[in-house]
Amino acid sequence: MQLLESGQMYLETILVLSKENSRIRSIDISEHMGFSKPSVSRAIGLLKKGEYITVDPDGYITLTESGAEVAHKMYDRHRLLTSFFSSLGVPEDIASKDACKIEHHISDETFEAMKRHIDEKQ
């Protein structure tokens, strides 16, 4: 199953929320992302079908190994890109929004080169 940008965003959100609370439900995702409950429910169903998450009988959501891999990849990209843009003088909120747009489309090669470049400058 090909994971679209929206699916990547949901997985990243689950990861972020899990850092604050180990028990995540659809309502938490809905509130965090500002999406309707039906939209989140549909996305959760697709992520479950794709085996990116599991949902227990009480409705608690857990990332699978493949889901966690995608979530960490997006989260790491988001953090590095936000930090990079902020270091250029871009306000934090704009840097974060721009990072969110780019993190899903930047190639692995370009991202790794960018990471190496930043590491060399530190």
Q: Digits of tens for pLDDT over the chain (122 positions)?
A: 568 889 999 999 999 999 999 899 999 999 999 999 999 999 999 999 999 999 999 999 999 999 999 999 999 999 999 999 998 999 999 999 999 999 989 999 999 999 998 888 77
Q: Output the pLDDT for position 2.
A: 66
Residues 89, 111, single domain; the answer is yes
Among 25, 43, 69, the domain-final residue is 69
Reference 60, options 11, 98, 24, 99; nearest CA is: 24
Q: Are residues 63 and 78 in the same domain?
A: no
Structure tokens belonging to residue 122: 């530190």
Q: Examine the domain organization and report whether 51 and 101 are in the same domain.
A: no
Q: Residue 31: its pLDDT value, please?
A: 96
Do both 65 and 90 map to the same domain? no
